């Protein structure tokens, strides 16, 4: 079934709504509906903010904060194995993005993640 809702805004609000375009990320529900991980959805939303450039570098601490996992997966290898790789795999298989991620190190310590992504127009289906 299909449901519809009608929303009406007063004329006084319209100028504010038209100015919002650049300040918010538009996420098409069909592009994330197949994602099962809330972390994958959050990473997708984050990447969509930078869709015009197709890449984004984020400090590891900021990445943890964005996902609300400041106190989880203290070792990067755990974070990568349990969260980053599965999320990138899920985005590649079930969203409209083709995503890669590389680590940026200071010495031997990972300090940032470099995401590169592009829109993948191929229809992805789960079997």
> Tell me: the pLDDT tens digits for 17-69?
555 555 445 556 777 788 889 999 999 999 988 888 999 999 999 999 999 99
Quote the pLDDT of residue 42.
92
For the chain, give every domain's residue range: 14-119
Quote the pLDDT of residue 9.
62
CA-to-CA separations, 78 to 11, 72, 82, in angstroms, rounded: 52, 9, 6
Quote the pLDDT of residue 112.
98
Quote the pLDDT of residue 52.
87
Quote the pLDDT of residue 118.
93
Higher-confidence position of 16 and 114: 114
Quote the pLDDT of residue 39.
94
Query: Which of the four pLDDT bands, split at 50, 70 and 90, describes residue 120?
Result: confident
Instruction: Give the number of other CB atoms < 10 A from CB of residue 92.
Output: 15
Topology annotation, domain 14-119: Arc Repressor Mutant, subunit A (1.10.10)
């Amino acid at each position: 079934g299909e449901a519809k809702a009608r929303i009406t805004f007063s004329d006084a609000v319209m100028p504010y709504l038209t100015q919002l375009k650049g300040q918010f990320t538009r996420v098409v529900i069909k592009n994330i509906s197949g994602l099962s991980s809330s972390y994958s959805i959050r990473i997708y939303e984050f990447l969509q903010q930078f869709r015009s450039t197709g890449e984004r570098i984020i400090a590891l601490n900021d990445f943890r904060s964005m996902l609300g996992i400041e106190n989880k997966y203290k070792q990067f290898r755990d974070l990568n194995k349990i969260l980053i790789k599965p999320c990138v795999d899920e985005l590649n298989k079930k969203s409209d993005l083709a995503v890669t991620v590389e680590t940026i190190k200071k010495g031997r310590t990972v300090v940032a993640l470099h995401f590169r992504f592009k829109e993948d127009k191929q229809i992805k289906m789960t079997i």
